[in-house]
Chains A and B, each alone.
Chain A
Amino acid sequence: MTDVANAIVLLLNFVIVPGVAYGSQLALGALGVTLIFGILRFANFAHGDVMAFGTMVVLLTTWWFQGMGVGIAPLPTALIALPFGIVGAAAFNLAADRVVFRFYRRRKSPPVILLIASVGVMFALQGIVRFIIGPDDRRLADGARFIIKASEFKAATGLKEGLAIKLSQGLTLAVAAIAVAALFWFLHRTRAGKAMRAYSDNEDLALLSGVSPDRVVFYAWLIAATLAAVAGTMYGIDKSYKPFTYFQLLLPIFASAILGGIGHPIGAVAGGFIVALSETAVTYAYKKFLRYLVPESWEPSGLMQLLSTDYKLAISFVILVVVLLVRPTGIFRGRVLS
Chain B
Amino acid sequence: MRTKLSRPVLWTPRLRTPLLFVGMAALLIAVGVGQSWVVSLSILNLCLISAIMALGLNMQWGYAGLLNVGVMGFAALGGLAGVLISQSPVADAWSAGGAGLGIALAVVVAAALLIVLLRRFVRRKPLRTAGTAVVLVAGFFIARIFFDPAVDEIERIDSATTGYLGGAGLPIILSWIVGGLLAAGAAWLIGKVALGLRSDYFAIATLGIAEIVITVIKNEDWLSRGVKNVTGLDRPVPYEIDLQQSSWFLDLVHWLGADPITGSSIFVKLCYAVLFALVLIAIVWLAERALNSPWGRMMRAIRDNEDAAAAMGKDVTRRHMQIFVLGAAVTGIAGAMLTTLDGQFTPGSYQPLRFTFLVWVMVIVGGSGNNWGAVFGGFLVWFVWVEAEPAGFWLMDAITAGLPEDKPLRAHLLDSAAYMRLIVMGLILLLVMRFSPRGIIPERRGR
| Chain A contacts to B: CB under 8 angstroms | 42-43, 100, 103, 111-113, 115-117, 119-128, 130-132, 134, 247-248, 250-251, 254-255, 258, 302, 308, 310-311, 313-314, 316-317, 320-321, 324-325, 328
Contact = CB atoms under 8 A, between A and B. Distances in A.
A112 B303 CA distance: 13
A131 B426 CA distance: 14
B67 A112 contact: yes
Given A115-B200, A317-B208, A131 B433 contact: no
A126 B204 contact: no
Interface stretch (B82-90, B105-113, B415-423): B415-423
Contacts of A254: 204, 207-208
B197 A251 contact: no
B423 A128 contact: yes
A298 to B, nearest CB: 16
Contact of A120 (B203, B211, B219, B433): B433
Contacts of A121: 426, 430
Instruction: Place the interface of chain B in its size category.
Output: 35 or more
A248 B416 CA distance: 22
Contacts of A324: 194, 197, 201, 205
Contacts of A122: 357, 426
A116 to B, nearest CB: 6
B199 interface: yes
A127 B426 contact: yes
- Tell me which of B197, B198, B204, B352 has the highest count of chain A C-beta atoms within 10 A of its own C-beta: B204
A254 B208 CA distance: 10
Given A128-B423, A258-B201, A311 B215 contact: yes
A193 B121 CA distance: 51
A313 B211 contact: yes
A128 B425 CA distance: 12
Given A115-B67, A255-B208, A123 B361 contact: yes
Contacts of B199: 111-112
A258 B433 contact: no
Nearest to A320: B208
B269 interface: no
Interface string B390-424: 00000000000000000000000001100111111
Nearest to B148: A302
Contacts of B76: none
Contacts of B67: 112, 115
Contacts of B420: 127, 131
A119 B211 contact: no
B430 A317 contact: no
A130 B417 CA distance: 10
Interface string B47-80: 0000000000000000001010000000000000
A132 B409 CA distance: 11
A124 B211 contact: no
Given A100-B434, A124-B422, A126-B353, 18 more contacts: A42-B200, A113-B433, A115-B200, A116-B429, A119-B429, A120-B430, A121-B426, A122-B426, A123-B425, A124-B426, A127-B426, A130-B422, A134-B416, A254-B208, A310-B219, A311-B215, A313-B215, A324-B205
A43 B200 contact: yes
Contacts of A103: 434
A93 to B, nearest CB: 15
Given A127-B420, A130-B419, A325 B204 contact: no
Nearest to A46: B426
A27 to B, nearest CB: 18
B134 interface: no
Contacts of A131: 416, 419-420, 423
